[in-house]
Amino acid sequence: MAETRKTLTIMILDDEEDILTLYSDYLTRKGHRVIKTYVNSETILDDVDIERPDAYIIDYRLPGNRNGIEVASEILKKFPSSCIMFITAFEFLEHEITKHNIFYDKNIEILIKPVKLRQIEDSLLNLTSH
């Protein structure tokens, strides 16, 4: 019997266009729907009320006034049950997150770059199944 795969809707925030394209193309080929990709935090926060994805992929280091933790905090204030995956080269992100109570007992996953594309999809499916 064929395995039934869950199809996710996803928003991706990363300051590198090539990373956005890579993640988006891969996840789309795997049958998921990438609603939109973003290179800065202001535009994603404007769009979170328009359509809620199943999961957000967020980088830690971003241009502008907010980092990924601050963006995720804003999303969780509006939608506490949101699934957020951080993909970052910032090795101390898990420690940084523990400083913010809003992340306690939330659907959060952290992947440290470099990551394999399959690991991103597997982690997203696991994160959203809780």
Name all domains of the chain by residue range, CATH numbers in brackets.
9-115 (3.40.50.2300)
Return mean pLDDT, the chain.
Answer: 93
User: pTM for the complete prediction?
Assistant: 0.94
Question: Is a pLDDT exceeding 70 seen at residue 118?
Answer: yes
- Closest of 130, 121, 125, 78 to residue 102, by C-alpha: 78
Q: How many CB atoms lie within 10 A of CB 114?
A: 8
Beta bridge partners of 38: 13
Q: What is the DSSP string of 77-93?
A: HH-TT-EEEEEES-TTH
Structure tokens at 34: 């990438």
| Cα dihedral across residues 22, 43, 93, 85: positive or negative | negative
Q: Tell me: the pLDDT tens digits for 47-86?
A: 988 989 999 999 999 988 899 999 999 999 999 999 999 9
